[in-house]
Amino acid sequence: MVGFDGSEDSLRALAWAAAECELRQSKLVVLHADRWSSVALELPSFEQEEDAEEGVLDEGVRWATSEHPALDVSGRRVPPPAGESLVAASKDASLLVVGSRGLGHLRQMPLGSVSRYCVEHAQCPVVVLRAR
């Protein structure tokens, strides 16, 4: 499983996860955590946000499928907060891959809050790909 939010860091994580799944001959699940709760996304004023969230997930699945055509790729949106949802999904994963900009509470921290939460709580091994 790989967390994907459309950022460069998450694209790097997606690329690494797709290559690893290809090597392992395993399925890749692209997870996108919505920024808004499902209640908010049901409001008419959030219709564009709903489309944007679905678009981010589609972008990740489309990229993985085009770069690794033989790979079995699926996508799933999960509710916020991202860290908690990625950890919950890790119950069904052999590996969780996330990107990190390292923008936690202090700029000196090597991991961001979502990646740190995943490392500390996931129920499978976690790979964190940091910004270059």
pLDDT digits (tens, 9 = 90+) for 87-115: 999 999 999 999 987 555 444 444 568 99
Over range 62-83, report the average pLDDT: 95
Q: What is the Cα–Cα distance from 104 to 52, expressed in whole angstroms? A: 25
Q: What is the pLDDT of the chain when averaged over all its residues? A: 86
The answer to whether 33 and 78 have CB atoms below 8 angstroms apart is yes
Check if CATH label 3.40.50.620 holds for domain 2-112+125-130. Answer: yes
Predicted model pTM:
0.84
Q: Could you tell me which of 97, 99, 130 has the C-alpha nearest to residue 29?
A: 97
Q: How far apart are CA 5 and CA 92, in angstroms?
A: 20
Q: Where exactly are the structural domains of the chain? A: 2-112+125-130
Does pLDDT of 45 surpass 70?
Answer: no
Stretch 60-80: mean pLDDT: 96
